[in-house]
Chain A
Amino acid sequence: MAGPNSLYGPLDPAPDAGYVDAPPRMGFFTDTSVCIGCKACEVACKEWNGVPDDGFNLLGMSYDNTGGLSANSWRAVAFIEQPMPREAAVTAAMTQQGTGTEPGAAPAPRPEPQFLGMPTTELPGRREGHDEPTDFRWLMMSNVCKHCTHAACLDVCPTGALLRTEFGTVVVQEDICNGCGYCISACPYGVIDQRKGDGRAWKCTLCYDRIGDGLMPACAQACPTQSIQYGELDELRLRAADRVATLHERGETSARLYGHDPDDGVGGDGAFFLLLDEPEVYGLPPDPVVTTRDLPAMWKRAGLAALAMGAATVVAFLGRS
């Protein structure tokens, strides 16, 4: 079933994987502009999928004590506190400690503590004296497996444990996976991960066991603000474009889509996002490319090296001594 775009380029993955009369491709649109950081998605995911705990750690990363996606966190809410929005949005995400990766760089200035106000039962902005925007913003994003059109994890899996479903999603078969770990280093988003003590690789299944029965994935079902929207990918993309236009109209010019474009490096994500800052601020790669795009070139170079090795051996035996 391999076509010219099987490794790279726009593609409808389920038919390419061999499904005849595949249902429409399903996915997530995660609109971070309405995420309130409640983590209901994380909890619902764990509950439904029986995902073990990921440790009870205080990470010092705002309200994020999950620390990103892992074998035991298939939804993970990122929290970014930006004390100087607009002008220096990026610096807040640079962390208050500095990343430790740029020796010459001064750490970002530590902001003064700000009182965010007590929680109330009123809608924001309804009370007197709270209409002025503060010079602080709090970004939240529920991260998840992207279910890429060109899924490197799936491409490199040597056992066939990873498979493309009829919905165009990517799922690990836990009875097949032998824990070789190849998918983990292949994923350009750092999503799939090996579970310690278990040895196998685990990630979001887009609730394969629910969507086949017409149910919503657990996280989308639990999301109280419709930040996580589930549906047919084509429709979600239209909805997302509308949403960005609306936000731009309202002056939120930082709104942009991420992973929606079928012409991007992974052929578009099955789970894409509306972000309010650069992707790397949320821990996402700014321009991911599926590693297998270069696989034909890699085999060519390896073939050349192999030929050189064979030739060198022949030459080595030409001498008399």
Chain B
Amino acid sequence: MSPRRRDDGLMVPPVEFGSYYGRAVVKAPAWHHDIAAYLFTGGLAAGSALLAAGADLTGRPALRRAGRSTALGALLASTYFLVNDLGRPARFHHMLRVAKPSSPMSMGTWILSGFGAGAGVAAAAEAAPLLPQHGVLGLARRALPPLGTVGGLAAAATAPALATYTAVLLADTATPSWHEAYPDLPFVFAGSAMAAAGGAGMLLAPTAEAGPARRLALAGAAVDLAAARRVEHGMGLVSEPYRQGRAGAYLRGARSLTIAGAAGALLGGRSRVLSALSGLALMGASVLTRFGVFEAGIESAKDPRYTVVPQRERLGQRDGRTALEP
């Protein structure tokens, strides 16, 4: 503990940072694990819609079905998680009162709504073969596939926004380790979404049609690993929560599973079993990535040093004096 020194009236704060009884300066996010789970399901829905649209356009019906049903399932789960996390779930529709560019959550609500409409129609179109050949339902049977293509393309058009806005959602907070990660977090989430959706495609579609899923998974894994590394090591003090405790364990697990899943996608593409296992690994990796990022942010908010020390350094640089002694 170095005492505060006085040099010509200039006070040089000691290595230690001041705090009020060690209490947090900012409030830890009030969000529960619903939000971490939504980060995964939202990304999965987005990536799967992209895969489904591509499969639709390139004549891969099994991959299309897998993508559309995964997108719908993940979309429904997302909606549940989002509503369930509200302090007043019955008021979820208040989100639709306004469209507010300064609020990533408002933007996300509209992105998800638009995506949901398209993905819903696309998934409904998969039910067309179940309808009778004749009558009104027969008409629907013939109208649904082209409608599904339109809906699927609309969903695919909004999907990249759905997969990446969540990074802005987290970064646009006073939570130190989330905010500082804003340049890289969208890439972590986009990569994680591609890897998860590619993984789901590898799990659900036959290997003959799953080539694009494997390639999407590989691209996603590469982007995810590179961007996550920058988040975990490139931000100085506020990178620390990404390497420690539960968040660190989650993210290390995510890295191992991503590498394993990517290796499986690269080498085991012809084996149905290996493909499915690799797909599962990639989806698991995505879950762990999202929970790891979520936990790291919460930890960074709970400890005042992640708030105070970077701000002190900033002040020190601005005032042209050393804020922290080495």
Whether both chains belong to one complex is answered with yes
Residue on A nearest B312 in the bound complex, by CB: A286
* A66 CB, nearest partner CB in chain B, Å: 11
Contacts of A97 in B (CB 8 A): 21-22
Contacts of A152 in B (CB 8 A): 173-174
Q: Is the CB of B87 within 8 A of A285?
A: no
Question: What string of 1s and 0s marks CB contacts (under 8 Å) between A119-163 and chain B?
Answer: 000000000000000000000000000000000100111111100
Question: What string of 1s and 0s marks CB contacts (under 8 Å) between A270-297 and chain B?
Answer: 0000000110111111111001101101
Q: Is the CB of A155 within 8 A of B102?
A: yes
* B42 CB, nearest partner CB in chain A, Å: 13
Residues 24 to 55 of chain B near chain A (Cβ within 8 Å): 24-31, 46-47, 50-51, 54-55
Q: Is the CB of B103 within 8 A of A156?
A: yes
Of B87, B91, B159, B187, the contact of A181 (CB 8 Å cutoff): B87
Q: Is the CB of A95 within 8 A of B87?
A: no
* B109 beta carbon closer than 8 Å to chain A: yes
Most chain B Cβ neighbours within 10 Å, of A94, A299, A313: A313
Q: Is the CB of B165 within 8 A of A190?
A: no
Q: Is the CB of B98 within 8 A of A185?
A: no
* B148 beta carbon closer than 8 Å to chain A: no
* A290 CB, nearest partner CB in chain B, Å: 9
Q: Is the CB of A181 within 8 A of B29?
A: yes
Q: Complex Cα distance A286/B87, Å? A: 31
Q: Is the CB of B168 within 8 A of A302?
A: yes
Residue on A nearest B180 in the bound complex, by CB: A294
Contact-size category for A? 35 or more
* B102 CB, nearest partner CB in chain A, Å: 4
Q: Is the CB of B87 within 8 A of A178?
A: yes
* B194 beta carbon closer than 8 Å to chain A: yes
* A309 beta carbon closer than 8 Å to chain B: yes
* B216 beta carbon closer than 8 Å to chain A: yes
* B95 beta carbon closer than 8 Å to chain A: yes
* A305 beta carbon closer than 8 Å to chain B: yes
Contacts of B69 in A (CB 8 A): none
Contacts of A287 in B (CB 8 A): 311-312, 314-315
Answer whether A284 and B304 are a contact pair too, CB < 8 Å, given A178-B95, A182-B103: no
Instruction: Give the contact stretch, choosing among A32-40, A41-49, A98-106, A110-118.
Output: A98-106
Instruction: Give the contact stretch, choosing among A18-26, A84-92, A215-223, A233-241.
Output: A84-92
Residues 159 to 187 of chain B near chain A (Cβ within 8 Å): 159-161, 163-165, 167-168, 171-175, 178-179, 182-187
Residue on B nearest A78 in the bound complex, by CB: B20
Most chain A Cβ neighbours within 10 Å, of B28, B88, B164: B164
Of A102, A159, A297, A319, the contact of B211 (CB 8 Å cutoff): A319
Most chain A Cβ neighbours within 10 Å, of B23, B171, B211, B307: B23
Q: Complex Cα distance A67/B20, Å? A: 10
Q: Is the CB of A291 within 8 A of B190?
A: no
Q: Complex Cα distance A185/B173, Å? A: 5
Q: Is the CB of B168 within 8 A of A99?
A: no
Q: Is the CB of A316 within 8 A of B54?
A: yes
Q: Complex Cα distance A195/B28, Å? A: 14
Q: Is the CB of B190 within 8 A of A158?
A: no
Q: Is the CB of A188 within 8 A of B305?
A: no
Q: Is the CB of B173 within 8 A of A179?
A: no
Q: Complex Cα distance A2/B146, Å? A: 42
Q: Is the CB of B4 within 8 A of A190?
A: no
* B236 beta carbon closer than 8 Å to chain A: no
Contacts of B86 in A (CB 8 A): 178-181, 199
Q: Complex Cα distance A306/B223, Å? A: 12
Contacts of A314 in B (CB 8 A): 54
Q: Is the CB of B50 within 8 A of A310?
A: yes
Contacts of A277 in B (CB 8 A): 18
Q: Complex Cα distance A156/B167, Å? A: 14
Answer whether A100 and B22 are a contact pair too, CB < 8 Å, given A156-B102, A294-B182, A298-B172: yes
Contacts of B220 in A (CB 8 A): 312
Contacts of B173 in A (CB 8 A): 152, 156, 182, 185-186, 291
Q: Is the CB of A159 within 8 A of B182?
A: no
* A31 beta carbon closer than 8 Å to chain B: no
* A60 CB, nearest partner CB in chain B, Å: 8
* B97 beta carbon closer than 8 Å to chain A: yes
* B73 beta carbon closer than 8 Å to chain A: no
Of A87, A161, A178, A284, the contact of B25 (CB 8 Å cutoff): A284
Of A185, A288, A295, A309, the contact of B194 (CB 8 Å cutoff): A309
Answer whether A306 and B17 are a contact pair too, CB < 8 Å, given A88-B4, A159-B98, A285-B26: no
Q: Complex Cα distance A158/B112, Å? A: 14
Q: Is the CB of A281 within 8 A of B20?
A: yes
Q: Is the CB of A308 within 8 A of B223?
A: yes
Contacts of A281 in B (CB 8 A): 18-20
* A57 beta carbon closer than 8 Å to chain B: no
Residue on B nearest A177 in the bound complex, by CB: B88
* A-B contacts besides A309-B160, A320-B211, 9 pairs, CB < 8 Å: A67-B23, A99-B19, A101-B305, A177-B88, A189-B25, A292-B172, A306-B164, A313-B51, A315-B215
5 A-B contacts, Cβ less than 8 Å apart? A7-B102, A105-B16, A159-B95, A178-B95, A191-B27
A: residues with CB less than 8 A from B are 7, 59, 61, 64, 67-68, 78, 80, 87-91, 93-95, 97-102, 105-106, 108, 152, 155-161, 176-182, 184-195, 198-201, 253, 277-278, 280-288, 291-292, 294-295, 297-299, 301-310, 312-317, 319-321
